[in-house]
Structure 1
């Protein structure tokens, strides 16, 4: 996933955007193109470049990508950029613009951006090959011609950045699936590559569940079985076809960058526009009713199951069970002001500091207490999938009625179902829809907001 250890896409992609946009905009001022409205052309060119790059996935370059793929990205990017560039003349009626200078500008931008793109690609490959950085620990499950070819790719194409550790053979007499799982955990394996032809259906199911529950990436080396009937992601490692089981939108650098940018802007708006004056008022009301801190912090599990402190306005009288026992209906620990701020979800507002600091997102699966995470990780199937992304202040499960106390098994199962759906189907539109519905629910009041 994007923010996993050893991955640099969350840094490389924004920096690449910034450098290319600098090149695209600075050259506009150097060449004698004769723009009548400089501000308009800069905004137009910047937006056009970003939109084309997103549609073309110009900044999404996988570690196993070939040079030909880089040239294809450059070709497609600049074909549309050329058309967009000259369309500016007709759209905004700019008759005095020098077509020749505009052509020179296009060629120079093409050359500089191409050099930067190829240089970055080569340097990252060299870094993996020589420095042995940005590596992914991998194992292969299967022993046949295709798996041997894939192992050869991992060992010989060191520039891809795969650290091959072990190959398991399901056909051997001493193969034990549990021992395989233990090895993956002990050696901190990042990705598991399974040959579908050598695993039984129940073994495939075990691998899928194990990967989900332990935050491991699972990929398949295909054959002619029914796995082709599923909607899977198809990739080539050199000339070896590989299938990925789950494609998480937020693993794509552009999506992650957009979501993080939105989180920063939105959290700053809430902190400066609301918490700046609301916090002193609540501080007085909370301390007048019961002695103790204004804020309550609790250790919860976030992305990659990492623990972090989640902040709230204190809504209970200080007690020793706050980290172990979830609030229930008519809970005697809840104060009068606490009852109001919990009913309106005002107690959750300090979590916008968590969002600003990067431990949470505005929208995502709600983080659970460490005690509950440890319990559900072993008792609820696919529970750990929710930790592939940052936890949120609100989420799809919450607006669908699955918030607060977990009273029955159906509550946690449905919560996980909605969390996984959100992770696999994320979009900015879905985030905005969830935020709007959360605000509406806060004003209407919710049955389980206690």
Structure 2
């Protein structure tokens, strides 16, 4: 087991990892920018190192400073959390070159899955179902029209190196394709420094289903069930739940078995999430995230397994603590991402929190690094906390969520809490009858 882990992140995920390390008896080091000197994880860590000014590129994305912090403090491993450097293959390689363990997969696996075209090829080779589309990057407009004609309109154009909805355009006609191809390539080049795009069949009303997987790096793989992340705005997840209201036990076991085998065959090490679009009983691979997900607590709630403990165990060479037959799914869990944003326009709302009161009681968990008097900086993601609720079934979970949302108080800044209070009372949400377009349509109708 590691002696000292450096946490290369901030906010609620840094605090989440810190708590896991303390439970395992591991010393902790956190890095922080000058804007985060009063953050909760900085206050609670055994050691802290300031690595630069507020802009992320000069602090949380500064690989040189983070490696220097490891060497100064004697940290023998780094947990990257999510975002920032968590899926940066170069970072993983540099740590390995300095004999520091990256708590995550190898740089090679990060590279393969970070390129959406190569990831799709790999998924197909491993037996994971994929969306019909181009075999690789589209070279020109002529090829784009040929592929679209073969798979049928509508199609979606996606950036190979993309994420967060940038470089994505839907084309319902050949005329749309001509415009969309040019726009997507321009957006991709500007956002990611790579204008490669590919084409897939566009599904009209799919759900977003993801499988939590783990590998030990030595040929063993398991899955921890699925999460339904269909409630999204601009391709950003807002509400996640496990298990999905749309799947039955047979479908869960089938896709879970496929994913666990794929991870084992890949020789993958650590946590990963294989994401799908799901429509009419069929799963279509989107991408694989080679890190811990924001929504991992709902999986922990229904399995009773600490996924961060599992990450640290695997990275330290201890292997997986469970076999597939040991993993049981109990009840239902929902997570709401509480952001410091206007609940309708989603405009960020940084500022000082004057009053912060979290709900409690059986089956209620709040992951947050903020407190009364904390000033939310304007430089980073607006997530200030996650409300996770667990019940014996989805009905009980929804009732508990309603009560917990009523108890949650954040004064001094706008938050998305009012949105969730509306959603929990909506009949479609209560019935689990929604897809990836539902939330944007709901918000548009409310305006």
Q: Decide: shared fold, TM above 0.5.
A: no
Bucket of the pairwise TM-score, normalised by the shorter protein: under 0.3
- Which TM-score applies when normalising by structure 1? 0.27
Report which of the two has the higher share of helix.
1
Q: Higher RCO, 1 or 2 (CA under 8 Å, sep at least 6)?
A: 2
Report which of the two has the higher share of strand.
2
User: In terms of Rg, which structure is larger?
Assistant: 1
